[in-house]
Structure 1
């Protein structure tokens, strides 16, 4: 009876409340409820990129496992949009392993709007907007990054290397590589917004 009451109550919590409770208590019930709300959307994105139902289902499980350790390392303001980026990046990493240099991204506007209410939180470098103007502005902003950030952004986005491969090449920790890419993306966003 008490357990049923707990589950009824947990379902009434907002995404933000569940996220805070999971980060504070590290109890998977909170993360499980949060992930369950968007699992069908995660599956849809995985199916779009990975193409087969089996691979998509495996990815849904792997992403959930990844979230259990990754969430604490991030300051998440909107779980849904953050999860979209995590899911897309996970799929791209899987594709890089199996088909290096052969990734062709299709227009993901419909997928993105189905996944979240707005796309303002998706970083320009993660979007599929390959228009000449955007590409030119992005290239100019990349040139303005600090040397380490520039190197990591180029290796990750243009040479399709994984965090591990970049860490090995630059002889540093994966954690530092993730931080350099994250900071580089933030600086790129600031630069691109200034150019508008």
Structure 2
């Protein structure tokens, strides 16, 4: 009787869709509700992930997560709740990425890399020092902000060498700089990035 009532009265508000889905587990209802907010979810994902394909994948992954989560939680305001779910999902993805970046940085402090660099091995360690989840978004925003104020040559070399894990030769090939320039931009870029991040650390 309860299920028939929802069938006769097609949900119109978010709250009605949530109640109907929680009562029936009907994925069509959840799909219709999610479709209303897909642009919001994509916008949140793109804000944090900065990649179109990754953001699209995240939108699909989040729907699969909702299939379970929405039946487990009492949700009063679906739009704001969904925004938080999407945000937290992206932050966890970025946390995983930060671990990979840290491992890349540490790997690239082997002697064959250190031979050409004057900076200490922890020159970029400030990026990953604080693993407290409450500070994660702040740290990521701080790093992005400092990267954005670097000279474009330094910023590009930092992104290619550390974030995309390219070799010196690959960076030189993609940027058109010679190896000496690449190493100089990396050294100065790391120094400037470290100074900026320490300056804005609070």
The two structures have a TM-score, normalised by structure 2, of 0.46
Q: Which has the larger radius of gyration?
A: 2
The two structures have a TM-score, normalised by structure 1, of 0.47
